[in-house]
Amino acid sequence: VNPREPVWERGLRVWLQFWFDLPSVTALAFLRIAVGVVLFYSLFVYSFDLSGHLSATGWGDLTVLRQADPVAWPFSVFDWIESTWWLWIAHSLAMLAAGAFALGVIPSLTGLLSLLFYLSYGHRNPAVMVDLDALLVMLLVYLILSPCGRVMALVPELFRRPRRYPLMPPEPDPPRPPWGAFMIRLLQLQLCLMYFLSGISSMFPEWLSGSLLIPPGLAERGLPVGLEGFRSSPTGAVALAFALTLLSLFYGVLVWLPRFRYAVLGVTSLAHFIVGVMWGLLAFNMLMIALNVVFVEDEHLEWVRHRVGPLLTLPWLPAPPHA
């Protein structure tokens, strides 16, 4: 630190360091794979009810449904489609784009395509939008603008000279552009805001009493798993409701303290896993666990990548030339 440095210059330097000096593209790559896989799964689940939800002969009048949740620009590629056959073609293309995004094939382009397709589903029939969709759209927007395909991406690894197996750790390390750091900071701050908003919105007696842990009608499906345990011990439900609220409220503070960071990430991931399995909200909570990766130190993610990467190589390919 230069003691003669003016305060405003030091402030500016620290401010810009905070936003741009976080050299990591690995977290973005992990997040890209998670978002791509969940997006693909969500589209796969759409396949069961494609014409029911999206075609003109579906269960709802699409014009009326759109009025139920108006948006400023309700574009949808499905508006150009009349027949069920073309609906399936467009749906297959959307799944293809999602798969390519997960594999890291030109993620800025395949991510943008995935975003346009996914918004098209929501705009065509907003009545079947769920929280998972909002989270997926948000993460897609961030990832499209970030260098999320620098590592663990299929195409750059295949075209590298000398040729290497897909998903193997590249050598030398890829460049780490400053806008990647900027995106990670944005994701970190937005994640903290999400938890905090969720925490303050759940601070009311009904939630804290554990009553709303079982949404009406959910028991009809046998959810949550272990419901009988809650019925025999309502104290457990109260404890869980309080724990989730406290975790949401204080996550945004504790996760920035290096001493508590991994403890908070561990507890949060465990809570997401339990809620996901017990309440049947696995896709959403898995995505939230993946989003927490943005707080993991880059060197630890690199350690995982260099060990997991070789395990994911395709054994039927010939040996790489430099091996």
Instruction: Return the residues of window 67-96 that contact another protein according to CB under 8 A.
Output: 68-72
The two tokens of residue 248 are 């949401």
At 61, which amino acid appears? D
The site string for another protein over 258-297 (x = CB under 8 A, - otherwise) reads: -------------xx--xx--xxxxxxx--x---------
Of 51-59, 78-86, 164-172, 253-261, the segment contacting another protein by CB under 8 A is: 51-59
At 270, which amino acid appears? L
Count of chain residues binding another protein (CB under 8 A) = 88
Q: Is 59 in the site for another protein (CB under 8 A)?
A: yes
Q: State which of residues 106, 109, 174, 190 lies at the interface with another protein (CB under 8 A).
A: 190
Q: Is 249 in the site for another protein (CB under 8 A)?
A: no
Give long-range contacts, CB 8 A cutoff, 24+ apart: 132-136: 132/38, 132/42, 132/283, 132/284, 132/287, 133/42, 135/284, 135/287, 135/288, 135/291, 136/35, 136/38, 136/39, 136/42, 136/287
Q: Is 246 in the site for another protein (CB under 8 A)?
A: no
102 alpha-carbon distance from chain centroid: 12
Alpha-carbon distance of 134 to 150, in angstroms, equals 26
**Window 140-179: residues binding another protein (CB under 8 A):** 141-142, 178
Closest contact distance (angstroms) between CB of 185 and another protein is: 8
Using the minimum distance from each CB to another protein, give the nearer residue, 48 or 316. Answer: 48
The site string for another protein over 2-31 (x = CB under 8 A, - otherwise) reads: ----------x--xx--xx-----------
Q: In sequence order, which residues have a C-beta less than 8 Å from that of residue 226 and are 6 or more positions away?
A: 278
Using the minimum distance from each CB to another protein, give the nearer residue, 133 or 157. Answer: 133
Using the minimum distance from each CB to another protein, give the nearer residue, 69 or 297. Answer: 69
211 alpha-carbon distance from chain centroid: 29
Residue 270 CA: distances (Å) to CA of 27, 221, 288, 316: 19, 24, 11, 36
